[in-house]
Structure 1
Amino acid sequence: MSLATLADVLQPALKGGYAVAGLVTLGWEDMRAFVAAAEAVNCAVILQAGPGCREHTPLPVLGRMFRHLAEAASVPVVAHLDHGYTYDECSEALDCGFTSLMFDGCRRPLAENIAQTRKIAELAHAAGISCEGEIGFVGYAEGEQSAGTDPEEAARFAAETGVDAMAISVGNVHLQQNKEGGLDEARIATIQALTNVPLVIHGGSGVPVEQRARLAKNTHICKYNIGTELRMVFGAALRDAVNADPSRFDRVSILKETHDPMVAATRHVLSALKG
């Protein structure tokens, strides 16, 4: 059994100078490909169930899917709740077998974010699992703009919540389809000088691969969330499979053709972070 907590995989990354990918899942096809790629590269992987995934598939089902894959895997696999917004949602994920809870209180006033995140961290730690918190709002491409993380607030947040990982806003953007952006390395350096917790970059698809790899090696960034980049590969493979034979209607045979392209693209993502 290779089921792991977030702390299990991020603490070695922090010490070893590499990062672990938090891969955004939407269904069985992509999560299975993600684990296959992690086994091929021989590295840990974090399977993430975000709000969109949970809207489509209930938490009890996702928990069983993640754990089924982890128990058969030869590498550590984390079952991670991404962007949980309430205590009850996080508590349900815990009951459903998740090994990591990410509570997103970044839109709340600082004191409230700290208090609520600490409550989730205490819930997680009492059950022997991990907690990720977020300080500083990460915006969206073609949408709401980011609010950069204040380093002093980050230091207070890390100290007072007891989180196992801290997501920060340092130029990263959700749903970015190109890699024309980049992270604010000066701000990252200031944050890590004031904290010792593993740092997390949401919206990792928009970060140039070279910068991902370099910062994974040389900073406290231990986790990159990758979603859009791999969803684009899945969509292209699915279109190719459908268009190759317009008379075909069996979705299982169609979806099988997404597996190899997804594994190949995921291996590329994972290899760049491995160090």
Structure 2
Amino acid sequence: MTLATLKDVLQPALRGGYAVGGLVCLGWEDMCAFVAAAEAENCAVILQAGPGCRAHTPLPVLGRMFRHLAENASVPVVAHLDHGYTYDDCSAALDAGFTSLMFDGSRKPLKDNIKETRQIVELAQQSGISCEGEIGFVGYAGGESSAGTDPSEAALFAAETGIDAMAISVGNVHLQQETDAGLDEARIAAIQAVTPVPLVIHGGSGVPVDQRRHLARTTNICKFNIGTELRMAFGAALREAVNKDPDRFDRIAILKETHDPVMAATRTVLRNLKG
């Protein structure tokens, strides 16, 4: 059994100068490919269930899927709730067997974010699992704009909540496909200077690969969330599988053909986070 908490995989990354992939799952096919890629690269992996995934598949089902994969994997696998917005979201994930809770209070005033994140930290600690919080809002491509993380607020947030990992806003954007815009390394350095907590980059698909590799090796960024580029790999593989034979209708046979391309794309992502 290699089911792990977020702290289990991020503390070695912090000490070793590398980062772990937080991979955004949408279904059985992609999460299987993600674990297979992690085994091939001999590295830990974080399977993430975000709001879209949870709207499609109930949390108890996702918890069972994640735990089944973890219990049969040769590498550490974290079952992670991504963007839990309420106490009830996080409590339900805990009940479903998740080993890591990410509470997103980044839209709230600092005082409220600290108070509510601390409640989730206490919930997680009581069950021996981990908690990630977010300070500074990470926006969405074509949607809400980001609000950068203030280093002094980050120091206060980390100290008063007791989080195991801290998501920050330093030029990263969710759902971004282009990789020409880089992160604000000066802001990252300023945040790192005031807190030792492992740092997390949401919207990692929009970060140039060379910069991901560099930051994984030289900073306290220990987790990059990657979703969009792997969804694109899945979509391309699925489109090819469907289009090559219009008469096919067995979705299991069609979906099987996404495994190898998604696994290959994931291996590249994970390899570049090793520093």
How does the TM-score come out when normalised to structure 2?
1.00
For 1:125 and 1:231, locate their aligned partners in 2 and report how far apart those are by CA, in whole Å: 33
For 2:240 and 2:4, locate their aligned partners in 1 and report how far apart those are by CA, in whole Å: 35
Structure 1 partner of 2:149:
149
For 1:84 and 1:182, locate their aligned partners in 2 and report how far apart those are by CA, in whole Å: 27
- CA deviation after TM superposition for structure 1 residue 178, in Å: 1.2
- CA deviation after TM superposition for structure 1 residue 180, in Å: 1.3
Name the % identity. 81
For 2:91 and 2:183, locate their aligned partners in 1 and report how far apart those are by CA, in whole Å: 33
* Uncovered stretches (5+) of structure 2, i.e. residues with no partner: none
Partner AA of 2:9 in structure 1: V
For 1:238 and 1:214, locate their aligned partners in 2 and report how far apart those are by CA, in whole Å: 32
1:88 is paired with a residue whose SS is helix
1:22 is paired with a residue whose SS is strand
Q: Which deviations, in whole Å up to 9, do the C-alpha atoms of 1:13-59 show, x marking residues without a partner?
A: 00000000000000000000000000000000000000000000000
- CA deviation after TM superposition for structure 1 residue 203, in Å: 0.1
- CA deviation after TM superposition for structure 1 residue 142, in Å: 1.2
Structure 2 partner of 1:25:
25
- CA deviation after TM superposition for structure 1 residue 213, in Å: 0.5
For 1:116 and 1:257, locate their aligned partners in 2 and report how far apart those are by CA, in whole Å: 43
Deviant stretches of 4+, over 3 Å: none
Structure 2 partner of 1:52:
52
Map 1:1-275 → 2, pairs under 5 A: 1-275=1-275
For 1:260 and 1:93, locate their aligned partners in 2 and report how far apart those are by CA, in whole Å: 30
For 1:109 and 1:142, locate their aligned partners in 2 and report how far apart those are by CA, in whole Å: 24
**What CA RMSD, in Å, does the superposition of the two structures yield over aligned residues?**
0.4
Q: What count of residue pairs does the alignment treat as equivalent?
A: 275
For 1:249 and 1:189, locate their aligned partners in 2 and report how far apart those are by CA, in whole Å: 52
- CA deviation after TM superposition for structure 1 residue 144, in Å: 1.2
For 1:150 and 1:274, locate their aligned partners in 2 and report how far apart those are by CA, in whole Å: 28
- CA deviation after TM superposition for structure 1 residue 195, in Å: 0.2
For 1:8 and 1:239, locate their aligned partners in 2 and report how far apart those are by CA, in whole Å: 37
For 2:270 and 2:103, locate their aligned partners in 1 and report how far apart those are by CA, in whole Å: 25
